[in-house]
Amino acid sequence: EAQVTQNPRYLITVTGKKLTVTCSQNMNHEYMSWYRQDPGLGLRQIYYSMNVEVTDKGDVPEGYKVSRKEKRNFPLILESPSPNQTSLYFCASSLVTSGGPIYNEQFFGPGTRLTVL
């Protein structure tokens, strides 16, 4: 089954404790991205990757890191989480065809609900 998986689905942690949220897709998509969703603010893009070893900042990259060492995986790293990073996080992927990934359907993972105390 074609899908995007995220782990963990739920996480409660404390300020300053490094954490990683994993994202994996089995559709051989080149493009992957991370979003956070907060009430009243919709989805905001954190980072995106056009292909292996190619990443770029989205609208709200501060406090986050990503890496793209393999095509299928795109982990989101919070080196020193703070309470303002409490949010619902989504990973998404899509094909990159002529014109770019935004011409294609984005496939979303089920989300990771993160609480930072």
Among 7, 45, 67, 86, indicate the residue that binds another protein (CB under 8 A).
45
Segment interacting with another protein (CB under 8 A) among 14-22, 61-69, 75-83, 92-100: 92-100
What is the 8-class DSSP label of residue 60?
Answer: -
Question: What strands, in cross-sheet order, belong to the sheet with 19-25?
Answer: 4-7, 19-25, 76-78, 65-66
Summary count for the chain: helices (H), strands (E): 0, 11
Written as six digits, the tokens of 19 are 């954490």
- Our CB check for another protein shows the closer of 69 and 99 to be 99
Among 58, 61, 65, 73, indicate the residue that binds another protein (CB under 8 A).
58
3-state secondary structure of 62: coil
Residues that bind another protein (CB under 8 A): 4, 31, 33, 35, 40-45, 48, 50, 56, 58-59, 88, 90, 92, 99-111, 113
